[in-house]
């Protein structure tokens, strides 16, 4: 929690939201694989809401995800008037190929519940030019990290969940997607299905 507290104080000192609205809260939870992970809720009050309970940012921290590619330093995207404060800040981030490998694991084999944001992410990562050739070598270790068998990467199983994914998309995602990045459910669905189909076929004949 020391790092979280430092970040809260930094934001207050630089005229950011009031992160002193309430103490941060740490919980030890069990993720969907049964592994121990952490959730931190950091409470704040922004400039437009001073009454009622403070809002919260939730940080999810996992202990057992193995990184297979080097982290990539990236600048913070912050298109606001105080952007200069963050001009020199670079954060170590997942490589896009590694994100796509984990998203395909989630869509094709991992999640008990349909999570439409995975489809959205797969679609845009493919649009960004990440290829199957880049992620194929990562998939066996990514599955092993979660104790999942590779034969769970099954396009027929994914196809059987079309209704679940559409319902989650309409309930949780479509109103959040930026207008200028609008993508229809069926477009994202087809991107994910084709990626899973190609990955399954490539790994089958190895």
pLDDT at 53 over 70: yes
User: Going by C-beta distance under 8 Å and a sequence separation of 6 or more, which residues neighbour residue 78?
Assistant: 86
Which secondary-structure segment (H or E) carries 39? strand 36-44
| Domain boundaries of the chain, sorted by first residue | 1-64, 96-204
pTM: 0.82
Task: Determine the Cα–Cα distance for residues 141 and 148; give it in Å rounded to an integer.
Answer: 10
Alpha helices in the chain (DSSP H): 2-13, 96-105, 116-127, 132-135, 139-145, 155-159, 162-168, 185-204
Q: Is the pLDDT higher at 3 or at 159?
A: 159
In the beta sheet, which residues pair with residue 43?
56
Give yes or no for a contact between 43 and 24, defined as CB atoms under 8 angstroms apart: yes
Across 71-97, average pLDDT: 90
Confidence of residue 180 (pLDDT cuts 50, 70, 90): low
Residue 123 is predicted with a pLDDT of 94
14-48 pLDDT, tens digit each: 667 788 788 889 999 877 666 788 899 989 887 77
Task: Determine the Cα–Cα distance for residues 23 and 25; give it in Å rounded to an integer.
Answer: 6
pLDDT at 179 over 80: no
Give yes or no for a contact between 37 and 63, defined as CB atoms under 8 angstroms apart: yes
Residue 205 is predicted with a pLDDT of 58
| φ, ψ dihedrals at 85, nearest 5° | -60, -30
pLDDT at 206 over 70: no
Distance of CA 83 to the CA centre of its chain: 24
Distances (CA, A) of 175 to 168, 169, 172: 12, 9, 7
Across 184-205, average pLDDT: 88
Residue 163 is predicted with a pLDDT of 95
In the beta sheet, which residues pair with residue 40?
26, 59
Across 163-173, average pLDDT: 92
pLDDT at 106 over 80: yes
Q: How many CB atoms lie within 10 A of CB 86?
A: 15
Instruction: Tell me what the pLDDT averaged over the chain comes to.
Output: 85
């Amino acid at each position: 929690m020391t790092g979280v507290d430092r970040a809260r104080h930094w934001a207050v000192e630089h005229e950011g939201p009031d992160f002193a609205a309430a103490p941060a809260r740490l919980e030890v939870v069990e993720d969907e694989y049964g592994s121990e992970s952490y959730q931190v809720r950091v409470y704040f009050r922004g400039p437009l809401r001073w009454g009622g309970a403070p809002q919260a940012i939730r940080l999810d921290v996992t202990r057992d995800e193995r990184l297979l590619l080097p982290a990539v330093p990236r600048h913070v995207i912050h298109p606001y008037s105080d952007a200069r404060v963050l001009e020199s800040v670079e954060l170590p981030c997942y490589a896009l190929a590694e994100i796509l490998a984990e998203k395909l694991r989630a869509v094709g084999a991992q999640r008990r519940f349909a999570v439409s944001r995975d489809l959205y992410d797969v679609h845009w990562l493919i649009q960004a030019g990440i290829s199957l050739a880049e992620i194929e070598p990562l998939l066996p270790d990514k599955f092993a990290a979660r104790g999942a068998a590779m034969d769970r990467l099954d396009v027929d199983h994914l196809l059987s969940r079309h209704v679940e994914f559409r319902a989650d998309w309409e309930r949780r995602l479509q109103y959040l997607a930026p207008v200028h990045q609008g993508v229809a459910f069926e477009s994202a669905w087809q991107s994910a299905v084709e990626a899973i189909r190609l990955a399954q076929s490539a790994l089958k004949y190895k």
